[in-house]
A and B are shown apart, each in its own frame.
Chain A
């Protein structure tokens, strides 16, 4: 597939799509456009890398680091979701 200039994403668009990209939630053509942009854009690659590091760091947070407010909010949400 040839990528015409009209298909090319801007850095701003790539940044906006990065969460959907990491969730593998993009349609394949759009995913391809993000990949094409990333392949030629060092700053966006760096942004993606930092996003992955952020997610990794969040996954290593100890449980007690979540504030009790946030936990009680979540419990409330959880309870109300149960049938």
Chain B
């Protein structure tokens, strides 16, 4: 394959790329161990999918895009799992309020009517519930751009 004999621009020094890739993975995933795994998986995906590299972008751009997609997808999935777990561990009142308000997107007055609770009580329950969910997935939010 011509790519092997004639490496595209940007594929100089796999070591430098490795450090940069790890740093890039860490931007999207909070765990170093997982970030290292993502870098490995990315190389594997690159080797398996090299036929799909069309040379329109530089090889480095293509490589980094695969890496970022993988890191982001994995972080999203893990944050979602943690969030779901955190919700199911909540006391029933908090769980009902956060599910209706934030998962289903109901306005607070509907939630108060359905659950027959005061506005203040609803907000206290929501506040506690959100605090716990945030704490459970905190590491996933630290590096994320809002």
Q: Which residues of A contact B (CB under 8 A)?
A: 16, 18-20, 23, 25, 49-55, 57-61, 65-67, 69-70, 73-74, 77-78, 81
Contacts and interface: CB of A to CB of B under 8 A. Distances in A.
B54 to A, nearest CB: 32
Interface in B60-100: 79-80, 83-84, 87-88, 92, 95-96, 98-100
A61 B80 contact: yes
B130 A54 contact: yes
B114 A81 contact: yes
Interface residues of B, number: 33
B146 A57 contact: no
Interface of B: 79-80, 83-84, 87-88, 92, 95-96, 98-100, 102-103, 105, 108, 113-116, 119, 123, 126-127, 130, 133-134, 137-138, 141-142, 144, 146
B114 A78 contact: yes
Contact of A58 (B96, B103, B113, B141): B103
A23 B103 contact: no
A19 B96 CA distance: 16
A67 B99 CA distance: 10
A1 B108 CA distance: 31
Given A19-B126, A23-B123, A77-B115, A55 B102 contact: yes
B1 to A, nearest CB: 40
Contact of B127 (A19, A73, A74): A19
B102 A59 contact: yes
A52 B145 CA distance: 11
Given A55-B130, A81-B114, 15 more contacts: A19-B127, A25-B119, A49-B141, A51-B134, A52-B146, A54-B134, A54-B137, A54-B141, A57-B80, A58-B98, A60-B80, A66-B103, A70-B99, A73-B92, A74-B99
A53 B135 CA distance: 12
A67 B103 CA distance: 12
